[in-house]
């Protein structure tokens, strides 16, 4: 498993693997443009009436149910985030899900 930053010069980042399942082999025959995928996400946000501006994106190349996906986590400026599945063979977004940071963090009150 590899991780790298693409803001500025490409840098490799150490990744700790917490999942014990074996990795599935991914095809290496894909060519894609992250800027074009970002445009697709912006278009889908408009179609689905999702408010907010993209501030940070994280991409992960994964195999889900036998299909190679680029899985993206998109952080928005309105305290929300998106999980986006982009099918590389079909070159389209197959799933998008919006979550609020408040939904993710459960706040417990002292009683």
**Tokens 């991409």, residue located:** 59
- pLDDT category at 31 given cuts 50, 70, 90 is confident
DSSP secondary structure, 29-91, as one string: -----HHHHHHHHHHHHHHTT--S-EEEEEEEEEEETTEEEEEEEEEETTSEEEEEEEETTTT
Q: Where are the domains of the chain?
A: 30-104
pLDDT digits (tens, 9 = 90+) for 36-76: 999 999 999 999 999 999 998 888 888 877 888 899 999 99
pLDDT score at 83: 92
What pTM did the predictor assign? Answer: 0.71
Mean pLDDT of the chain: 82
CATH code for the part of the protein at 30-104: 3.10.450.40
- pLDDT category at 106 given cuts 50, 70, 90 is low
């Amino acid at each position: 498993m590899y991780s790298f930053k693409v803001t500025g010069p490409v840098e490799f980042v150490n990744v700790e693997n917490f999942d014990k399942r074996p990795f599935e082999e991914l095809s290496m025959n894909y060519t894609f443009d992250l800027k074009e995928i970002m445009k697709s996400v912006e278009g889908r946000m408009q179609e689905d009436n999702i408010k907010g501006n993209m501030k940070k994106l994280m991409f992960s190349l994964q195999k889900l149910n036998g299909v190679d996906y680029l899985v993206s986590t998109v952080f928005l400026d309105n305290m929300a985030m998106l999980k986006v599945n982009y099918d590389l063979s079909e070159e389209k977004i197959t799933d998008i899900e919006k979550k609020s940071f408040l939904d993710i963090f459960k706040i417990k009150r002292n009683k």
